[in-house]
Amino acid sequence: MIVLLEAHVHLQKVVGAALGQLQSGRYGIGGRWTVQAASARVASPSQYYGMEHGPVNAAYQAAEAHYTARNLESRRIYNEAVKHLPGGNTRTVLYYDPFPLATVRAEGARLFDADGHEYVDLLGEYTAGLYGHSEPAIMAAISEALQSGLNFGSHHANEAALARLIKLRFPSIDLVRFTNSGTEATLMALAAARVYTRKNRILVFEGGYHGGAFSFAHGDSPVNAPYKYLVARYNSIESVDAILSDPTNAQDLAAIIVEPMLGSGGGIPGKRLFLDHLRKTANTLGAVLIFDEVMTSRLHSGGGLQSHLDIRPDMTTLGKYIGGGMSFGAFGGTEDIMSLFDPRTGRIAHAGTFNNNVLTMAAGRAGLEEVFTPDAALKLNARGEALRQRLNQIATGTVLKMTGCGSIMVIHFTSTPEEHITCPQDIAGDDKALSDLLHLYLLEHGYYIARRGFIALSLAVTDTDLDGFVKTIQEFLTQHQSLVTIREKAQL
């Protein structure tokens, strides 16, 4: 059956996608790729559609005016920031038009902004906020650590305690080292793979995100660490095989790094066959298979997608909530690779003033030991699955689709059926104007999610919060029915 979107939605998608690419700097002079936005939407609908271009834009304009009027203090704080930070911002993904909200306080699953509004926090700090904003066990661990003093500049017992807890959840990890961020974890894992294999090339996937210096939203990027990347299509065995059919690529392959589910790339789960194929390919070529589970480590029973799929990578990168809400990253793997970092015998030094920060180690330990037990993980992820199913159910017949796994999910506005979304190319025509409109709508109704539709449930979010969220999405779809409904050709 041929299904078409309502005509104006379709037109806006085409125009928006083309202009959006230009504005994000994806195409420069002569069609060469230049600077790309790693994970932020840089163009607002008002910039790329123009007032006269249809009802979505008109609705967005109205929403933006309303947003501005009710968030004057946030706007003042933002305008002050612009004097000191480029674009008033020090973390690109947090910016959105017309200006971002300023949070003044957070508690449980609630955020409170500078204009006195309260929000249910469904963003969950892009998965790092798993414990919510004031989990008692975490707060107690931090207070206790504070009593013992800061910045020891020495070994301490909580390092090994946290390492042990991580190893229990990830049987593929024999030894682990800590960093300050997921980006650093990627950097060190790739360094280890290159030293270990004495090879250079790294197979990555379009839409993959492994940190600020390892972003493949649109292929390679000038911001990336300068390695020799081979960029394949996510979930495509054919694409992997085609790239590695070049003997130079195959012989020089040091590592394959992959997110078992694309997080920033749209909440797109990797297929078992595809991930299995990567395991076999790495074995055949003597390359290191790295699973980036910085986001996905919280899934299923808290052992990441590797435990669920029963695929053992050689190395794993971690981050986000595992530091209990403090700055954190980790990389670990088999003993023979990780022994490279043994200072008694090893060949690779790994520095980092805050690698064993006392607050991070204490908060991380308390979180895994006392709060995010395997049972708690299973329950949270089951609630996420149920939420995604409910939303897809109420959105039947519309362009709103929700992808993801467990407690991590992403809202898209696309005509592609949810089950056919297997790589970022399948949602390349996403209607960004509708995402932006929904974002402002949700903020107005007290729900905080990412501008790009990303949601990560925290343990503090209640079922009542989720019921309210579903109801609000339902109201949005009803209010904007003419903008979101998919109509069959005969109806147009």
Residues that bind ligand PLP (CB under 6 A): 126, 181-183, 186, 209-211, 259, 263-264, 292, 294-295, 319, 329
Angle among Cα 457, 463, 468 to the nearest 5 degrees reads 90
When the beta carbons of 294 and 368 are compared against ligand PLP, the nearer one is: 294
Nearest CA to 209 among 251, 263, 155? Answer: 263
Question: What does the alpha-carbon distance between residue 128 and residue 324 come to, in Å, rounded to a whole number?
Answer: 8
When the beta carbons of 44 and 183 are compared against ligand PLP, the nearer one is: 183
Shortest Å distance, C-beta 230 to ligand PLP? 19
Going 15 to 87 to 121 to 57, the CA torsion angle's sign is negative
Shortest Å distance, C-beta 91 to ligand PLP? 9
When the beta carbons of 183 and 472 are compared against ligand PLP, the nearer one is: 183
Nearest CA to 460 among 451, 478, 470, 448? Answer: 448
User: Which residues are 255's β-sheet partners?
Assistant: 202, 288
When the beta carbons of 183 and 392 are compared against ligand PLP, the nearer one is: 183
Nearest CA to 94 among 461, 456, 458, 454? Answer: 454
When the beta carbons of 231 and 470 are compared against ligand PLP, the nearer one is: 231
Shortest Å distance, C-beta 40 to ligand PLP? 12
When the beta carbons of 16 and 182 are compared against ligand PLP, the nearer one is: 182
Shortest Å distance, C-beta 398 to ligand PLP? 28
The tokens for 338 are 């990780």
Residues 367, 137 contacting (CB under 8 angstroms) = yes
Shortest Å distance, C-beta 76 to ligand PLP? 28
Shortest Å distance, C-beta 320 to ligand PLP? 7
Cβ-based neighbours of 472, under 8 Å, separated by 6 or more: 441, 442, 445, 447
Q: Which residue is nearest to ligand PLP (CB)?
A: 182
When the beta carbons of 89 and 474 are compared against ligand PLP, the nearer one is: 89
Q: How many residues does the chain have?
A: 492
Question: What does the alpha-carbon distance between residue 216 and residue 211 come to, in Å, rounded to a whole number?
Answer: 10
**How many beta carbons lie within 10 A of that of residue 106, not counting itself?**
17
Shortest Å distance, C-beta 80 to ligand PLP? 26
